[in-house]
Amino acid sequence: KRLGIEVSAAHVNHGIRGDEAKRDENFVIEFCEKRSIPLKVFHEDIPSLAKKLKIGEEECGRKRRYELLCGIDDFSLIATAHNLNDNLETVLLNLTRGTALTGLCGIPVKRGRIIRPLLNCTREEIEAYCKENSLEYVTDSTNDDAKYSRNKIRKFVIPKLQDINPSILGNFAEFLENIKRDEVYLNEQAQRLLSEAVENGKFKSEAFKKAHPAVRYRAIKAVISNYISGGIEKRHIEKADELLSKCGSFDLCETHRVTSDGKYLFVEEKASLKSAKPPEPIAINKTDITEKETEFKFADFIITLRLISKTEIDSLQKINNEVCYNLLDYDKMTSAIVIRGRKSGDRLRIKERGLSKTLKKLYSENKLPQSLREINPIIADDEGVVFVNGFGADERCAADNNSKKIILVSVRRK
């Protein structure tokens, strides 16, 4: 109430701990009822799902939990209770598995709609707050089960580190701050390299070779990440890096390969792949677009629309100057808009370029893979195309300094 926000709750019963899981569920129900907090409860059979997916129960439970939470449309933000102790466990776990700098950054404070407001608080501070305010809580008994890697780190590794230095958590928080600052800078440099090296959808090998490996590897990862499902492995990046100095190619996945012609590095579709058919168009009334993120699923893309302030635009452009091409003037568009695939005759006049091209020609010139040409998301209104993924806003509806209401378009692969 003090913050002026509405709070709802969600609870997932993973079907792992029998009576204890039911106890937890009942505790949450009673807690929310006493405080008139709306609650959604989900029941899952995580052991069976984990076997089906051939992954561990811990990983399966986490993935399914986030899927369920993010599927609740009436939650504008989803707050989880991760704390500083959890973050230390995550970083140590990443170290044991092998990781790059990104893995040392730990759990992000915000990712999409997921926020973690307690991430800088220790578990002891949270428990002390509960005690001071007479807030009851229950503990998951599996947190003591040493068969889980995270629990081994919590029960055995961290106590030893605290014996060496009781201030380990405070020092770890400072370490994270330094690491994240470096990570942001390196990613900015990688984006700058991509902007300088790109030419007709390909990347100049010479520009990549001149860059520091820390920047070059990040840029390569960004290039291939749009074409591979699941995690990108170190071997993919190293193979692509080797190609910068020679001609050749390697299979990235079932549908695409990374190729070097001696001058350019690029990802191309395998010849046998056919173009996918676009799904049904998604009709939208622009009055439904607000400051809250609205997500739309189109083929294997997720399109996010929201109103954005000019102050936030300035902040985003410091991170990625390409953001300006994804800004639409709310008032220049007709009220009825649609997300769809391309149609015959579709044209785009790219902002500040002064020329109009058909999407067919634009896709061909920029070597957009055949498999994406029919499903690449397009936003159109009653007068024509207003935005094309990968190419930005049409000049007719592009935001400028005189725009009063601005829509930010974000597109990512599932």
Assess if residue 90 is contained within a domain. no
Tell me the C-alpha distance between 411 and 414, whole Å. 10
Task: Residue 47: give its domain's CATH number.
Answer: 3.40.50.620
Dihedral angle sign, alpha carbons of residues 397, 398, 401, 404: positive
Share of the chain above pLDDT 70, in %: 93
The residues facing 358 across adjacent strands are: 347
Residues in the chain: 414
**pLDDT exceeds cutoff 60 at 323:** no
Q: Choose among 163, 143, 164, 165: nearest CA to 154.
A: 143
Axis-axis angle for helices 57-70, 46-53 (nearest 10)? 110
Distance of CA 68 to the CA centre of its chain: 16
Task: Identify the band that residue 354 occupies on the pLDDT scale cut at 50, 70 and 90.
Answer: low
Both tokens of 413, joined, read 């692969």
**Mean pLDDT across the chain:** 88
Residue 272 clears pLDDT 50, i.e. is over it: no
Most confident of 5-19, 51-65, 81-95, 258-272: 81-95
- Whether the CB-CB separation of 370 and 363 falls below 8 Å is answered with no
Read off the pLDDT band of 321 (50, 70, 90): low
Confidence band, pLDDT 50/70/90 cuts, at residue 273: very low
Q: How many CB atoms lie within 10 A of CB 360?
A: 14
pLDDT number for residue 275: 57
How many structural domains are present in the chain? 3
Which residue's structure tokens are 């005759």? Answer: 345
Q: What does the pLDDT average to over 342-365?
A: 86
Cβ atoms < 10 Å from Cβ of 370: 17
User: Do residues 246 and 350 share a domain?
Assistant: no
Q: What's the pLDDT tens digit per position in 143-173? A: 888 877 889 999 999 999 999 999 999 999 9
DSSP code of residue 23: H
Q: Could you tell me which of 112, 126, 138, 114 has the C-alpha nearest to residue 84?
A: 126
In this structure, the answer to whether residues 254 and 315 fall within a common structural domain is no
Which of the pair, 370 or 76, is modelled with greater confidence?
Answer: 76
- Mean pLDDT along residues 45-55: 90
Distance CA(331)–CA(334), nearest Å, equals 8
Query: What pLDDT is stored for residue 112 in this prediction?
Result: 86
- 84: pLDDT strictly greater than 80: yes
Q: Is residue 223 part of a domain?
A: yes
Read off the pLDDT of residues 233-254 as tens digits, 9 standing for 90 and up: 889 999 999 999 887 788 888 7
The answer to whether residues 288 and 399 belong to one domain is yes
300 & 231 share domain: no
Domain boundary among 76, 99, 123: 76
- Asked if pLDDT for residue 359 goes beyond 90, the answer is yes
Which tops the pLDDT comparison, 181 or 314? Answer: 181
* Alpha carbon separation from 201 to 218, 260, 267, 364, 410 (Å, rounded): 18, 13, 9, 10, 19
Q: What is the pLDDT of residue 305?
A: 95
pLDDT class of 318 with cuts at 50, 70, 90: low
Residue 358's domain comprises 282-413
Q: What are phi and psi of 200, to 5 degrees?
A: 55, 45
d(CA 200, CA 203): 8
CATH code assigned at 253: 1.20.59.20
pLDDT above 80: residue 259: yes
Q: Tell me: do 229 and 293 sit in the same domain.
A: no
Give the confidence band of 350 by pLDDT, cuts at 50, 70, 90: confident
Q: Distance of alpha carbon 203 from its chain centroid, rounded?
A: 24
Question: Which residues have C-beta within 8 Å of that of residue 171, sequence separation ≥ 6?
Answer: 165
Cβ neighbourhood burial of 88 (10 Å; 0-12, 13-18, 19+): buried
Q: Within a domain: residue 17?
A: yes
274: confidence class by pLDDT, cuts 50, 70, 90: low
Q: Could you tell me which residues are beta bridge partners of residue 88?
A: none
Report d(CA 268, CA 367) in Å as an integer: 8
CB 119 within 8 A of CB 83: yes
Closest CA to 342 of 306, 390, 302: 390
Q: What is the C-alpha end-to-end distance of the chain, expressed in Å?
A: 36
Provide the pLDDT for residue 271. Answer: 63
- What pLDDT does residue 11 have? 94
More confident residue, 236 or 315: 236
